[in-house]
Amino acid sequence: MKRYRTFKVEIDPTDEQKQQITRFQGICRFVYNLYLHENQERWEAEKKLAETSGRKPHSTLMKPAKFYTWLKQDYIPASGKIWINDCPSKAVRQSI
């Protein structure tokens, strides 16, 4: 018979670490909401175009990899929101 052990772990971050965790969560939430907003705008524009031309709308959603490239190369430099780069890239990619 197998026995499994469990361990309870409690983290106790310092004030600086708490601030960093909160900042990373905020950046990831912002990127997630930006991704949703961009895709909703694209979908609405496609629906309007399809209605005027009398066809069915097709998917114009931005893929996560393309969105990440657009975010890094176009959005951040154009908007000046360089604080997005403060967050680790893996966290940003996972939030997308």
- Three-state secondary-structure class, residue 57: coil
Residue 12 falls within a domain, yes or no? no
pTM of this prediction exceeds 0.95: no
Cβ-based neighbours of 68, under 8 Å, separated by 6 or more: 92, 93, 96
Mean per-residue pLDDT, 3-10: 91
pLDDT-based confidence at residue 49 (cuts at 50, 70, 90): confident
pLDDT-based confidence at residue 61 (cuts at 50, 70, 90): confident
> What values do phi and psi take at 82, rounded to 5?
-75, -10
DSSP string, 64-87: HHHHHHHIIIIIHHHHT-GGGGGS
> What values do phi and psi take at 31, rounded to 5?
-65, -40
Neighbour count for residue 46 (Cβ, 10 Å): 15
Residue 68: pLDDT over 90: yes
Residue 30: pLDDT over 90: yes
Domain ranges, residue 82: 19-95
Residue 56 falls within a domain, yes or no? yes
Residue 14 falls within a domain, yes or no? no
- When the pLDDT of each residue in the chain is averaged and rounded to a whole number, the result is 90
The more confidently predicted of residues 9 and 59 is: 9
Residue 9 falls within a domain, yes or no? no
Q: How many domains does the chain have?
A: 1
Residue 85 falls within a domain, yes or no? yes
Residue 10 falls within a domain, yes or no? no
